[in-house]
Amino acid sequence: MGSVKEQWLETRPDHELTFACPKCGYPCASWVRPPDLLHETEDEDPDNFEVETVECIRCDSTWRVEITPGHETYRMTIGGNPDEDVTLHPLDMSDDEPYWDDLPEPEPQPHDIFQEALRDWWSLLGKIGDQTSGSASVNRMLFVQLFSIFEAYLSDEIVGLTIRDTAVQRSIIAALPALNKQTVSLLTVAEKPNLVRDEVRGALQRVSFHNLPVVDSICGKALNMPILPPSKEVRDILGAAVTARHDCVHRNGYDLDGKLTSIITVEWLMSLSKHFEGMANTLTFQVMNIDTARQIDMLGAQSEES
């Protein structure tokens, strides 16, 4: 059993937490792993609780839910709304073992795949894009697909480099709080020689690569190259695109005020795709430089040994 799988089995969510959003009433849900229930000999402690943060996909409100273990059940409380009902149901995990094997390998040559997919997307934009509207459903569909193409490239490029390069792994550990706070025993390290690589890879593959500011922070700290362009005008366009993507994916194009987006014109989509292409070209060039430098260092070390 690989180390990533072992950690997943030990930490995977095994309960569903549900409640009605205190602000808008929309059903909120999250998969969580609550703390263990107390043994009969243990005393209940009000300070012994775990916190889950749950977002409402309708109104974007974020709620802090405290889960306090008792002897037979849990007490759940929403911060600022102690009288709201919260339910916690165990999940049926019986079919998970055949499903979970290993995390998928990042695709090789991700930039080539990205460019091929982008050419196909450009063809579709020209054939079916609505030239008269910034809110047409076909334009919103093309917009979400464009983001999927780009975030798949980002994931494969960054995860693939991280698997290959131990120096980048160290930088990623320093950049991600979920990793730099971990502690493991020497016995665990001895038993799992690929522990660091697997943990970093797993953490990266849980990153939302459509969240461009997060990816920009990771690239800046781990690759010494922020991914967002320096131009404030372009950064504003990309920031608006991230927000519009959230509206399209979660609210079918409507913002928090119930207004349908109107910025997704064919011209805007083409401009956005060119920005994505430029960012991908820059990142690929940086990754090639890192790979080349590592290979030169390895050849130099081999020459010294011989």
Amino acid 5: pLDDT:
47
Residues of the chain with pLDDT under 50: 1-5, 8, 95-101
Amino acid 4: pLDDT:
44
Amino acid 256: pLDDT:
77
Amino acid 130: pLDDT:
95
Amino acid 212: pLDDT:
87
In this structure, are residues 201 and 162 in contact, taking their beta carbons and an 8 Å threshold? Answer: yes
Amino acid 28: pLDDT:
85
Amino acid 50: pLDDT:
86
CB atoms within 10 A of CB 59: 14
Q: Domain limits of the chain?
A: 7-99, 110-305
pLDDT digits (tens, 9 = 90+) for 89-111: 887 655 444 343 456 678 889 99
How far is 120 from 103, CA to CA, in rounded Å? 28
Non-local CB neighbours of 155 within 8 Å, separated by 6+ positions: 106, 204, 205, 207, 209
Amino acid 76: pLDDT:
92
Amino acid 27: pLDDT:
84
pTM for this entry: 0.64
Amino acid 237: pLDDT:
92
Amino acid 191: pLDDT:
60
Amino acid 197: pLDDT:
62
> Where do we find the tokens 């889960």?
67
